[in-house]
Amino acid sequence: MKQHRNDLLLAAAVLLLAAAVWFFSRPGGSGAWVVVTVDGQETGRYALDQDWTVTIGEADYNVLEISGGQAAVVEANCGDHTCVRTGWISQEGETIVCLPHRLVIRIQGASGELDVVAR
């Protein structure tokens, strides 16, 4: 009887560990970042699982909104508005690009490993 109970405890511990590994390794999930670069320089990074509204730039501006685990440029004064039309991104590696403003918004996973490989 005692042996049986120990087996159950062990099984529970293994399940918990598996759940933790899954939670921390899934891409685009909790812990992901929205990384903003202008002209190749990182100007800010924002947690994807929090809600933010950020205005990037002054004369040339893009309004970045992060809401419900997704990010989008909701307003901009660039000529082509490609960045606004891109819509919402949420998966690791997805980008919004605003060529006129040399702006790149990218989803980066919590590990940052993709970033290291890309360099």
Binding site for Zn ion (CB under 5 A): 76, 78, 83, 98
CB of 18: closest distance to Zn ion in angstroms?
A: 43
CB neighbourhood size of 32 (10 A): 22
Q: Which residue has the tokens 């918004």?
A: 105
Q: What token pair was written down for 113? A: 């490993």
Closer residue to Zn ion in complex, CB, 86/111: 86
CB of 96: closest distance to Zn ion in angstroms?
A: 8
| DSSP character at residue 89 | B
CB of 109: closest distance to Zn ion in angstroms?
A: 25
Closer residue to Zn ion in complex, CB, 78/104: 78
Dihedral sign from CA coordinates of 81, 85, 86, 89: positive
44, β-bridge pairs:
36
Closer residue to Zn ion in complex, CB, 38/76: 76
